[in-house]
Every structure is written in C-alpha cells, then in structure tokens.
C-alpha cells in the first residue's frame, strides 16, 4: 500500500533501479535516523537476553 506520490515514486524507482535506490537510501535516510544528543544504550543491560550461569547441555 502506497500513500502519496513520494511513496509510489520510491516504490517504482526501487523496482526499476534497486541498486541506485539502495545507495541513495544509505546516504540520505540512515543519517536522518541518528540523533547525536541521544546517548546509546549499554548493550550489556539493554537487550532482552537473560544472563545465567548455565553451562548448556552436555552429553
């Protein structure tokens, strides 16, 4: 589902020239997702994995 001309244009362009659209998205879209004022989370405490002392399964 595409809402608006810009979404439709990107969809068509993605079908016609996928590599070019990938390069454009890497340069334009990814940097716009970063916020330098917001600190990154600590990977040791922010994931959903449960830490345990279990050694795993042994035969």
Question: What is the pLDDT averaged over residues 32-41?
Answer: 76
Q: How far apart are CA 59 and CA 56, in angstroms?
A: 10
User: Please, which pLDDT band fits residue 2 given cuts at 50, 70 and 90?
Assistant: low
pTM over 0.85? The answer is no
Q: How far apart are CA 33 and CA 22, in angstroms?
A: 16
Q: Name every residue whose Cβ is closer than 8 Å to that of residue 40 and which is 6 or more positions away in sequence.
A: none
Q: Which backbone phi and psi does 53 adopt, to 5 degrees?
A: -100, 10
User: Please, which pLDDT band fits residue 34 given cuts at 50, 70 and 90?
Assistant: confident
Q: How far apart are CA 3 and CA 11, in angstroms?
A: 11
Helix (H, G, I), strand (E, B) or coil at 56: coil
């Amino acid at each position: 589902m595409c809402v608006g001309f810009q979404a439709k244009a990107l969809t068509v362009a993605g079908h016609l020239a996928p590599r070019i659209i990938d390069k454009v998205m890497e340069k334009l879209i990814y940097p716009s997702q970063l916020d330098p004022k917001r600190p990154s989370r600590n990977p040791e405490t922010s994931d959903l994995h449960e830490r345990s002392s279990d050694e795993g399964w042994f035969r």
